[in-house]
Amino acid sequence: MDKHLCTLCQRLPELQEVAADIQAAAACCIGSFRSGGRLFLCGNGGSFSDAEHIAGELMKGFLKRRPVASAEQSSLRAVCGSDGEVLARSLQGGLPALVLGSERSLSTAVSNDNDPGLIFAQPLYVMGRPGDVFLGISTSGNARNVALACQVARHRGLHTIGLTGRSGGRLRELCEHCIGVPADETYRVQELHVAVYHCLCAMLEAAFFDD
């Protein structure tokens, strides 16, 4: 078992029952990123904030700095003039993670002109490519807009991951991998979600940015 996952299960033993699901979700993301894929995330309310949190941890250093390769640093210095040194020193490697619903003009247009339930499905239909990964976060697993986006992901050939509460709801049926944390109350589910996705982010960082 991955060292980060071992640490998580030691710290929060109740998550041992979803350890295999976390491992499978990490492997799914690693395979996609290695093939040039991207991660699409969505959720409502606190889960939307969690989606943004995950993207933030993946797009720059999380537990460690991720300096760009020396050849790229040299290119930045050569191409970018007086700004090249700052860019070469400061830019970090990342993994492409996009939060669906963050396009406010599109989201409000979809809600007004079509169906509010499509705010995640519409941009995913346009941007998702076979081999990408969709990660839908819903404490109940039954959020309609997340489920509709998951259906679009399946149609477009994306891998699908659900992050839910104990029952898993519809996402357990729809997703290839469903991490249903052992809690039922919304706030408790969300507390465990943070621990789970921090572990996932650490596992992905180790896979791509270890020395």
Q: Per-residue pLDDT tens for 15-60?
A: 999 999 999 999 999 999 999 999 999 999 999 999 999 999 999 9
Give the CA-trace dihedral at 45, 99, 206, 17, to 10 degrees.
40
Strand order in the sheet with 177-180: 97-99, 39-42, 133-137, 159-164, 177-180
Q: How many residues are listed for the chain in this entry? A: 211
- Kindly give, in sequence order, each residue whose CB lies less than 8 Å from that of residue 85, ignoring residues fewer than 6 positions away: 77
* Residue that has been written with the tokens 């699901």 in this structure: 21
Q: How far is the CA of 33 from the CAs of 61, 110, 136, in angstroms?
A: 16, 29, 18
Average pLDDT, the chain: 97
Q: Which two tokens stand for residue 111?
A: 């809600």
Per-residue pLDDT at 1: 63
- Residue-range domains of the chain with CATH: 3-59+94-209 (3.40.50.10490), 65-93 (no CATH)
Helices H, strands E: what count in the chain? 10, 5
Per-residue pLDDT at 13: 98
| pTM for this entry | 0.95
The pLDDT-based confidence of 210 (bands split at 50, 70, 90) is confident
Q: Per-residue pLDDT tens for 67-120?
A: 999 999 999 999 999 999 999 999 999 999 999 999 999 999 999 999 999 999
Q: What percent of the chain has pLDDT over 90?
A: 98
